């Protein structure tokens, strides 16, 4: 396992060692002791989630508020996505900034998204299976969202607007400015 820092403190790219031969391949997708040794973060994942989506599906930007905040370790089991994290930590020097990375089943690259971030992704391949571990249980009453196309955040989703497929809920999330006004 190799850890790469992003411009957003605490948001980490994880490169795993893949071992392969003529039978196929193997890699350890998470080891708590190794993760702690390399990052100093003692994360206790308590919930795994998986979604399946077709090209153009944009899921985001989501987060959990307050005591229900979640850190996530995300990866792609099939296909490819463009994955984005937005720093919403009050007082952070990178507040409102985003980081995006293409994750794919072939690269085996993962992204660690700490608590206090909005998170989302768009499917770039014909189909994708997205998997993530969370360090806190989902709480419907603590749901939060950020508008996916807020010009103040400026995310380039890699596809044309007419190619995007969004839930009704994700079409009406607040802007970053509206979020700030609730702090």
CATH code at position 146: 2.60.120.10
User: Which residues participate in catalysis according to the annotation?
Assistant: 62, 132
Query: How many angstroms separate the CA atoms of 6 and 173, rounded?
Result: 26
pLDDT for residue 26: 86
Task: Give dist(CA 101, CA 78) in Å, integer.
Answer: 16
pLDDT value of residue 25: 83
| pLDDT tens track, the chain, 183 positions | 899 999 999 999 999 888 888 988 888 899 999 999 999 999 999 999 999 999 999 999 999 999 999 999 999 999 999 999 999 999 999 999 999 999 999 999 999 999 999 999 999 999 999 999 999 999 999 999 999 999 999 999 999 999 999 999 999 999 999 999 988
What's the confidence (pLDDT) of residue 73? 98
For residue 25, tell me if it sits in a domain: no
Residue 7 lies in a domain: no
Q: What is the pLDDT of residue 19?
A: 85
Domain that holds residue 54: 45-180
Strand ranges, E, within the chain: 2-5, 12-15, 19-21, 24-26, 47-54, 58-64, 72-78, 80-87, 98-104, 110-113, 117-123, 127-134, 143-145
Nearest to 10, CA basis, from 63, 72, 62? 72
Q: Which two tokens stand for residue 107?
A: 């690269």
Beta sheet of 72-78, edge-to-edge order: 2-5, 12-15, 110-113, 72-78, 127-134, 47-54
Q: How many CB atoms lie within 10 A of CB 108?
A: 17
Q: Is 19 a domain residue?
A: no
**Positive/negative CA dihedral, 153, 85, 107, 126:** negative
DSSP character at residue 68: G
Calpha distance 95→30 (Å, rounded): 28
Q: Is residue 1 part of a domain?
A: no
- Domains: count for the chain: 1
Q: Does 148 fall in a domain?
A: yes
Whether 147 maps to a domain, the answer reads: yes
Residue 40 located in a structural domain: no
pLDDT of residue 17: 84
In a domain, 151, yes or no: yes
Direct distance between the N- and C-terminal alpha carbons of the chain, in angstroms, rounded to an integer:
37
């Amino acid at each position: 396992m190799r850890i790469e820092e992003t411009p957003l403190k605490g948001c980490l790219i994880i490169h795993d060692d893949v071992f392969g031969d003529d039978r196929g391949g193997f890699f350890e997708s998470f080891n708590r002791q190794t993760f702690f040794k390399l990052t100093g973060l003692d994360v206790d994942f308590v919930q795994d989630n998986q979604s399946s989506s077709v090209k153009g599906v944009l899921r985001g930007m989501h987060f959990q508020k307050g005591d229900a905040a979640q850190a996530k370790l995300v990866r792609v089991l099939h296909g490819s996505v463009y994955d984005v994290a937005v720093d919403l930590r009050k007082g952070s020097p990178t507040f409102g900034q985003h980081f995006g990375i293409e994750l794919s089943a072939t690269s085996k690259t993962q992204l660690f998204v700490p608590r206090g971030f909005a998170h989302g992704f768009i499917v770039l391949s014909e189909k994708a299976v997205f998997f993530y571990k969370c360090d806190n249980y989902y709480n419907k009453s603590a749901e939060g969202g950020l508008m996916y196309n807020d010009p103040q955040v400026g995310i380039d989703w890699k596809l044309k607007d007419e190619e995007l497929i969004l839930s009704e809920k994700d079409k009406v999330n607040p802007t970053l400015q509206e979020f700030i006004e609730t702090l």
